[in-house]
Amino acid sequence: MPLRDLKVDLTPGLRKLDMYSRRDVLSTTMEGEWATAFKGRGIEFAGFREYQYGDDASLIDWKASLRAKSTLIREFEEYKNFNAFILFDVSDTMLFSSNAKLKCEYAAELIYTLADAINKAGDSVGMAMFNNNFVNRIRPNIGAEILHHIKANILDKDNYGGPKGIKKVLMMTRSFLQGRAVVLLVSDFISFEAGWENYVQMMSEEFEMIGIMVRDPIDRELPKIGGQVMIKDPQTGQNLYIDSRQYAEKYKEMVSTQEGYIENVFKRNRGDFIKITTDKEFLIPLISFFQRRSKRTD
């Protein structure tokens, strides 16, 4: 289902909120929150040394101490820079809207803002747009040129549409992405093939995973109208007529259960998860997430 037109505005004045007079204030806040939440927070094991008076006793490795017959503590070194890689779902289910923005248009603006904040914080950022395969792939890098490449790909309407599949995409991402990395999967998480959870688990063994769910309000609740509404399966094209009054609560409960399950897939694999709807400004939930993350890692 190709796009006929693409309404994506990536200029600094993209959105305005009553609580902020300028978008660049929000962007600067976003940059600062990313840096606080991620930069300087990563640690990796560097080796052992003998315990000295005043050392943190919780760092004592008792098994290693028994083997060495000496009290040893673990030493860690901090790393400050890493790769951030954004996986952008541009499949057919993202080409939907009940308001001013298609999910893919909303996600594109979110992704560019996020990529800009990551780049300004001094970390490498890359992106791949995908349906059931990579549509394009930009390896993580730093500087104005990488943002130019991301912007050019986001603004190309021919990059949108197609059937959805995540397994192959995650396998390919794992095969080329190297070093310390945070992988941000931006999708509506609708119609992933069975068993996708195992591939998130596989990725989580090597990288930190963050799921960012972008959904339209109707993805969560049926419209509040009487009578029948038609629901169309984006994968098969099959139409189904239902009574919105009869099934509204069941639909809402089913979606809530599904979203809870998806969130748990990330959290049980030591990842994070953010839910955003296209009728609300995305920067507020993103900034709130990074603030919570900063407190958690303090």
Q: Is the dihedral of CA 216, 218, 190, 205 positive or negative?
A: positive
Label residue 149 exposed, middle or buried (CB < 10 Å: 0-12, 13-18, 19+).
middle
DSSP state of 94: G
- pLDDT at site 39: 52
pLDDT at res. 233: 63
Which of 22-36, 102-116, 179-193, 251-265 comes out lowest in average pLDDT? 22-36
Whole-prediction pTM: 0.77
In this predicted structure, the answer to whether residue 239 has a pLDDT above a threshold of 70 is yes
Mean pLDDT of 37-51: 63
DSSP, residue by residue, 174-192:
HHH--SSEEEEEEE---SP
Average pLDDT estimate for 246-252: 80
Give the torsion through C-alpha atoms of 258, 2, 165, 269, to 10 deg: -50
Q: Which residues contact 157 (CB under 8 A, 6 or more apart)?
A: 2, 3, 4, 5, 6
* Concatenated DSSP letters of 4-44: S------STTS--BTTBS-HHHHHHHHHHHHHHHHTTTEEE
Say what the pLDDT of residue 20 is.
38
User: Measured between alpha carbons, how far is 90 from 130 in angstroms, rounded to an integer?
Assistant: 6
What is the mean pLDDT of the segment spanning 128-135? 97
CATH architecture of 23-39+80-297: 3-Layer(aba) Sandwich (3.40)
Instruction: Please report the pLDDT score of residue 15 as a whole number.
Output: 42
Confidence at residue 252, expressed as pLDDT on a 0 to 100 scale: 87
Instruction: State the chain's mean pLDDT as an integer.
Output: 82
Q: Give 115 or 33, the one with higher predicted confidence.
A: 115
Amino acid identity of residue 80, one-letter, is: K
Quote the tokens at residue 84. 């951030």
Task: Please return the burial class of 26, using the count of CB atoms within 10 Å of its CB with bins 0-12, 13-18 and 19+.
Answer: buried
pLDDT for res 222:
80
Tell how strand 239-243 and strand 228-232 pair up: antiparallel
SS3 (DSSP) at 105: helix
Give pLDDT tens digits for 175-223. 999 877 899 999 999 999 999 999 999 999 999 999 999 999 999 888 7
Neighbouring-strand partners of residue 273: 211
The CATH 3.40.50.410 domain(s) of the chain lie at 23-39+80-297
Stronger pLDDT, 132 or 16, i.e. the higher one? 132
Please state, in angstroms and as integers, the Cα–Cα distance from residue 163 to each residue in 192, 219, 231, following that order. Answer: 10, 18, 18
- Residue 12 confidence class, pLDDT cut points 50, 70, 90: very low
Q: Which amino acid is at 288?
A: S
161-196 CB burial, b ≥16 within 10 A, e <16? bbebbbbebbeebeeebeeebbbbbbbbbbbbeeeb
Q: Compute the average pLDDT of residues 140-147.
A: 93
Give the Cα separation of 117 and 35 in Å (integer).
Answer: 9
Taking residues 145-153, what's their average pLDDT? Answer: 95
The predicted model gives 83-110 an average pLDDT of 94
Question: CB atoms < 10 A from the CB of 45, how many?
Answer: 10
